[in-house]
Amino acid sequence: MDFNEIEKLISTLKKNLEVIENNGVVEPETKIDALTFNKNVEEIKKRLYSTTDEGSFFKNVFNTEDYYENISSYLEQTNKSLYYKIEKAGVSLKANQNLQESLTNISNIMQILVAEYQIQNKKKKKSIFSRSGDTAMIRGLLAELMELQNRMNKILHLDSQIVSNVVLENFKTIYTFFYNCIRVAKQRGDELLLVEIAGITDKIIEMIRPVLSGKSLKTNELIYHYLIYELRELKAYAIGEDLA
């Protein structure tokens, strides 16, 4: 990829970002605080852990001879329902995915440009001819890419806040259903179903993760840390993943 191609990419991304940034979506208010969420989670777990099976309704509807088809089909419906609610709340999942891919591409391009900048600097020291034009161009491109990167991260952060709130509103249903699905899959020794459940849980986690602004813990993000932890714990229950 040459400098002209990178400039064209930057121009295209700027236009796309302007459309997304002006879509009228605003930062949502969290409808539940961390303390209440933790209390609700404890109640859900207490109810689930106090029984040795998945309950008569779940058993009659899902834990039949066609258990895999029944559960897999309803998992897909649950996923679609969640995606519909997310879209309704203002997040385009397709645009979000494209944005994440663009962010990865930008990161890769920046790494290449930094490497090229270092090469040009070494050449400059060895040559009597100035290559300052190339290094200046690279610095300019890097500055524009960093600006785009920041704008994309802000959009993804907002999207993930919206996604997180949708998941929080539906957490009891999601957790209870997934937990019982895992319980049945383990009873049946069905590793394929366990992997499928873990995969869906992981997708939800990845949509939420950008809401966390960094390594430092912010008070207003505490509930999102708890939410991700509970989903990771659910995934670990399915496939034995280490939470450390």
Sequence spans of domains, the chain: 3-14+32-239
Does residue 221 have a pLDDT over 90? no
Residue 128's pLDDT band (boundaries 50, 70, 90)? very low
Looking at residue 82, its pLDDT comes to 93
Does residue 83 have a pLDDT over 90? yes
Average pLDDT on 17-33 reads: 84
Residue 69 CA neighbour count, 13 Å, CB half: 3
CB neighbour class for 144 (10 Å; exposed up to 12, middle 13-18, buried from 19): middle
Q: Give the range among 197-201, 211-215, 240-244 with minimum mean pLDDT.
A: 240-244
Does residue 126 have a pLDDT over 60? no
pLDDT digits (tens, 9 = 90+) for 106-124: 999 999 999 988 888 777 6
Residue 80 CA neighbour count, 13 Å, CB half: 6
Distance CA 235, CA 242 (A): 10
pLDDT digits (tens, 9 = 90+) for 27-66: 888 888 999 999 999 999 999 888 877 777 777 777 788 8
Distance CA 179, CA 183 (A): 6
Does residue 4 have a pLDDT over 50? yes
3-state helix, strand, coil in the chain (%, to 5): 80, 0, 20
What is the value of pTM for the model shown? Answer: 0.83
Residue type at 105 in one-letter notation: N
Looking at residue 66, its pLDDT comes to 85
